[in-house]
Chains A and B, each alone.
Chain A
């Protein structure tokens, strides 16, 4: 009987549910739903108690029973990619869709080990430009623009 990654993850979910349940009793919800038999927190509390019950059971079963460890991960590659996606997400509204996706596409392909110039040009430049043109200019779905140019 020992703690493992599965039990830590289930424990984290349990703590999250407990903190949300405590939050439902905070002052901001006290004045809500006056006159109604069941206030706005009636249903979420039922769900949170279920969440607590199930994640509690998962903690117990992962400690007592046999659990399969998650597959080994390439954390450097994963966090690198997550960082690039997060950066692209942040830059999207700062420097516009076209420039941020151009930067992301080239850097992500390079980061994941792709070095062929033709492929980099096609996926890193042609694809974002084509996507931007298709959505922004043809389908007229307005995407964020850069502070330097009014049209891109």
Chain B
């Protein structure tokens, strides 16, 4: 309770109120535009946070995050094109409702389910993050090394594409983090005699390049541009209590699935939405109607993907381990503003953390209001021509990259990583592990080297003298070998 009142004081300031309102609004708008997604929304909003105070900056991005996840459902429902991958499952029942002339009903279900899912995940975050942080206080360098190893393996293995590609992307990120001064001796590494490289690669410049700029190149490079040939007229009709009553079980189950999946590194909202949809298809009393415009399908997808927002922040805040690209960008912003997520966060910045918790609740309520008001304007947003949109995204990318340090070299880094991100994505490599590797790289190296000093250079002792680390290493080994075991088991089960 000691943090709640100071946190309330922080959240109740006009600057925080405005940033939450604008962040949510921008998030909904960018999220609704097909293909841009939450990460692009966050990266283009980054430069706006540079001149802001800690809490308004973080709440702006929290608003963008929550808003963009909800916004993705709008285009999924109205034009059958998910604005974000996490809303793909919403198309299954949202669009059939539009075809039946019930676009307003579909938007009403998605808005309410998103808000309730988001609020549920806030509760999970408030309850789980401090507990996890308390356990994490027992972590030394060896446990931290084991934890980061597990997180990177988990993220790489669950990422889209093959596990090898995910692992290589993670290693690429870790290698990029070694550019610049050695964290222990201070010697310069990989600067190739070029002075600007001595300070290392700026995280924001890399993030903006690899996510937002590469997205622009991917869209420009497409041979066939997918433009919807018709756009449904929108409005909103909120479901009544009588409509909700038989669907409460689906809502509760989807919110729990979303929050749980959100906590796991590397999974993300898209996975949560599909697991939840599959569960609704298995257990809903109206499962036969799923896929034909049944609200259960919209609830399952939207409650789950919005419930991920709070869940994903649990390991980010409590352990300093971002589970996906979105939380990596969030974590970067916090670091820029002098807050280091991790085991000491609760003790050192308890007020700010609780302010984030309260802000998330308020943002979900703001989202409901904005969803209702914006409903009629969605048609106009979806008609934004792609060339104009991409040109604007590039300008915001350059601004975001330059604005942090005012260093022209960062613009080159953004351009270089934009090209690198394009080729990695073209060949099916996930790019999120690159950024997560870059974020976790310095801590990973320090943990390893400090651990070796503690154990008198005996790597074997990482396994023998530290039970928590051993448990984490065993989990990592299981994650790595599971695809092989599954391959081995699968043909046998077919034979029998």
A interface list, Cβ under 8 A from B: 5-6, 9, 13, 20, 23, 29, 32-33, 36-44, 47-48, 50-51, 54-55, 57-58, 61, 68, 70-75, 77-78, 81-82, 85-86, 88-89, 92-93, 97, 101, 104-105, 108-109, 111-114, 116, 119, 122-124, 127-128, 131, 135, 139-144
Contact = CB atoms under 8 A, between A and B. Distances in A.
B412 A124 contact: no
A44 B178 contact: yes
A145 B387 CA distance: 26
| Residue in A47, A48, A70 with the greatest tally of chain B CB atoms within 10 Å | A47
Contacts of A9: 423, 427
B446 to A, nearest CB: 10
B51 A139 contact: yes
Interface string B436-457: 0000000001001100110001
A54 B387 CA distance: 38
A51 B402 CA distance: 30
Closest CB pairs A-B (n = 4):
A112-B387, A123-B388, A114-B387, A40-B182
A108 B223 contact: no
A114 B178 contact: no
Interface string B271-291: 000000000000000000000
A38 B184 CA distance: 10
10 contacts: A13-B168, A20-B190, A38-B457, A70-B427, A81-B220, A92-B402, A101-B398, A104-B394, A131-B399, A139-B48
A43 B178 contact: yes
B330 to A, nearest CB: 21
A124 B224 CA distance: 24
Nearest to B167: A54
Given A37-B452, A40-B185, A78-B217, A101 B387 contact: no
B217 A81 contact: yes
A47 to B, nearest CB: 5
A88 B394 contact: yes
Contacts of A116: 385
Interface string B398-438: 11001100101001101100110001001110000000000
B189 interface: yes
A78 B418 CA distance: 12
Nearest to A141: B403
Nearest to A140: B51
B175 A51 contact: yes
B222 interface: yes
A139 B46 CA distance: 13
B457 A37 contact: yes
B391 interface: yes
Nearest to A46: B448
A64 B348 CA distance: 53
B463 interface: no
Contact of B47 (A13, A44, A109, A135): A135
A112 B227 CA distance: 14
A47 B391 contact: no
What interface size band does chain B fall in?
35 or more
Given A37-B452, A38-B452, A108 B394 contact: yes
B171 interface: yes
B223 A54 contact: no
Contacts of A93: 408, 411
A104 B309 CA distance: 36
Given A33-B187, A47-B174, A68 B428 contact: yes
A2 B69 CA distance: 42
A44 B415 contact: no
A135 B168 contact: no
Question: Which of A40, A78, A101, A105 has the most chain B CB within a 10 Å cutoff?
Answer: A40
A70 B189 contact: no
Contacts of B392: 105, 123, 127
B184 A36 contact: yes
B387 A77 contact: no
Given A55-B168, A81-B216, A40 B189 contact: yes
Contacts of B213: 85
B50 A141 contact: yes
Given A9-B427, A114-B388, A128-B395, A38 B223 contact: no
Contacts of B178: 43-44, 47
Contact of A74 (B51, B222, B388, B396): B222
B419 A108 contact: no
Given A70-B427, A141-B47, A123 B452 contact: no
B165 A58 contact: yes
User: Which of B47, B221, B412: most chain A Cβ within 10 A?
Assistant: B221
B339 interface: no
A114 B51 contact: no
A113 to B, nearest CB: 6
A16 B428 CA distance: 19
Contact of A58 (B168, B185, B449, B453): B168
B164 interface: yes
Contacts of A29: 187, 189
